[in-house]
Amino acid sequence: KPRLVASNDRFCRFLEEHCPVVTETYYPTIWCWEGRVQTLLRPFITSRPQVQYRNELIKTADGGQISLDWFDNNDSLYYPDASTRPTVLLLPGLTGTSKESYILHMIHQSETLGYRCVVFNNRGIAGEDLLTPRTYCAANTEDLETVIHHVHSLHPSAPFMAAGVSMGGMLLLNYLGKTGRDTPLMAAAIFSAGWNVFESVESLEKPLNWLLFNYYLTTCLQSSISRHRQMLEKLFDMDLVMKARTVREFDKQFTSVMFGYRTIEDYYEDASPCRKLKSVGIPVLCLNSVDDVFSPGHAIPVETAKQNANVALVLTSCGGHIGFLEGIWPRKCTYMDRVFKQFVQAMFEHGNKIFSM
């Protein structure tokens, strides 16, 4: 059974009643139970539901642009009035976009419930051009704030929540830690967030993890910026950036410099959500597996979470990073998908029961 960590008895009872999946036994797929195997296989095993997006480009204060992919769900039977149709903002991982299988599954789950979704693609990775020499990072929440207020302004009467995966979850947590209760979001769901970036990069630099994940992730980061080389060369030594062989080296030469940090340590400290968890002011459910090499179990801030009545952690012993495969042939639905569906539905349809926390 997962471990449910929450200091608020009312929040616990709410989850047990309306999101019972967090108390049910999770049976990982027996032939890929190890965390790294779960992590590696999920993108290849799980299906990719067909989703028709409507793209929107919005401008930022610094002259840049952000690509949003909307799933309007205009055929919703439960919420035919678009002005009050519940909206879920989805934040993909480090180099992820609206095309990731885990995002498509979240949209499929939301579609069956009648909700609308919008995917926040970080700058420059969804095919749009960079208009300024700036991309994104886990610590800077300015673009996310722009997106949240834009979406809310379009549908001010619609219930509104967000879900973030991996770095998207870190960014969302850092935003919530910064804003407290001062946000249009009524709740948030976080999946496989890296809580302490120092511990995450150290884990990813172990020889096997570097071979399986770190080097590939570094090349993905480099690939995501290479298309914008002409724009970025105005500020960076791109030859040096492209020589990075670890995420830490990439962040040292590129990310930390772009966002004005004096050292990479300053950036990693600012990017670590564990340092802002006490300030989260809305109900948040966070799912992690303790065998996730991207977010080691010992770095999950269990004691800090107990100090905030708005926070609940769901910790599984297996599941890897954005894995959570279950069943003999885990193609259509994962444990993570079920947690997402039940929690989003619980908040939209019964959330008033815990808003008096």
> Residue 354: its pLDDT value, please?
76
216 lies in the same domain as 177: no
Instruction: Please tell me which residue in 143, 292, 295, 337 is annotated as part of the active site.
Output: 292
CB atoms within 10 A of CB 216: 12
Looking at the domain assignment, is residue 112 inside a domain? yes
> Does the annotation count 321 as an active-site position?
yes
Give the structural domain span for 71. Answer: 3-196+273-351
Task: Check pLDDT > 70 for residue 356.
Answer: no
Domain boundary among 271, 301, 324: 271
Do 257 and 192 lie in one domain? The reply is no
Domain co-membership, 192 together with 246 = no
Q: What is the mean pLDDT of the chain?
A: 96
In this prediction, residue 355 carries a pLDDT of 61
| pLDDT (tens digit per residue) in 264-285 | 999 999 999 999 999 999 999 9
Q: Would you place residue 321 in the very low, low, confident or very high pLDDT band (cuts 50, 70, 90)? A: very high
71 and 153 both lie in a single domain: yes
d(CA 228, CA 146) in angstroms, rounded, equals: 22
Same domain, 215 and 147: no
153-204: per-residue pLDDT in tens? 999 999 999 999 999 999 999 999 999 999 999 999 999 999 999 999 999 9
Instruction: State whether residue 193 is helix, strand or coil.
Output: coil
The reported pLDDT for the residue numbered 218 is: 98
pLDDT digit string, tens, across residues 101-115:
999 999 999 999 999
- Judge if 294 and 333 occupy the same domain: yes
Instruction: Look up the CATH number of the domain holding residue 42.
Output: 3.40.50.1820
pLDDT of residue 281: 96
Q: To the nearest 10°, report the CA torsion of 272, 105, 215, 226.
A: -90
Neighbours of 352 (CB within 10 A): 9
Do 149 and 267 belong together in one domain?
no
Instruction: Confirm whether 239 is domain-assigned.
Output: yes
- Out of 271, 292, 310, pick the residue that ends a domain: 271
- On the question of pLDDT at 289 being above 80, the answer is yes
Q: Based on the fold, state whether residues 279 and 252 are members of the same structural domain.
A: no
Candidates 76, 110, 166, 192; catalytic one: 166
Q: Identify whether residues 222 and 321 lie together within a single domain.
A: no
Report if residue 340 sits inside a domain: yes
Q: Is pTM beyond 0.85 here?
A: yes
- What's the total number of domains in the chain? 2
User: Is 3 in contact with 314 (CB distance < 8 Å)?
Assistant: yes
Q: 205: Cβ–Cβ under 8 A, 6 or more apart, which residues?
A: 214, 246, 248
Residue 347 lies in a domain: yes
168 and 227 assigned to the same domain: no
pLDDT 10s digits, 36-64: 999 999 988 898 999 999 999 999 999 99
What is the amino acid identity at position 284? V
User: Rounded to whole angstroms, what are the CA distances from 54 to 51, 130, 214?
Assistant: 10, 20, 33
* Domain presence at residue 85: yes
Q: Please determine, for residue 135, whether its predicted confidence score (pLDDT) is greater than 60.
A: yes
- Report residue 258 as tokens: 């772009």
Residue 99 Cα distances to 224, 227, 291, angstroms: 15, 19, 26
Catalytic residue among 69, 228, 321, 337: 321
Does 105 qualify as catalytic in the annotation? no
SS (H, E, C) 271-333: HCHHHCHHHCCCCEEEEEECCCCCCCHHHCCHHHHCCCCCEEEEEECCCCCCCCCECCCCCCC
| Residue 356 forms part of a structural domain | no
Do 143 and 98 sit in the same domain of this protein? Answer: yes
Is-catalytic flag, 166?
A: yes
Q: Is the pLDDT of residue 34 over 70?
A: yes
H-type helices in the chain, by residue range?
9-18, 35-45, 101-113, 142-154, 167-179, 197-204, 207-209, 215-226, 229-232, 238-241, 247-250, 256-258, 264-271, 302-305, 335-350
| Final residue in a domain of this structure, among 210, 240, 271 | 271
The reported pLDDT for the residue numbered 263 is 97
* Nearest C-alpha neighbor of 104 from the set 42, 168, 49: 49
- Asked if residue 245 belongs to a domain, the reply is yes
Domain membership of residue 51 (yes or no) is yes
pLDDT score of 357 more than 50: no
Q: Is 23 in the same domain as 157?
A: yes
The reported pLDDT for the residue numbered 332 is 85
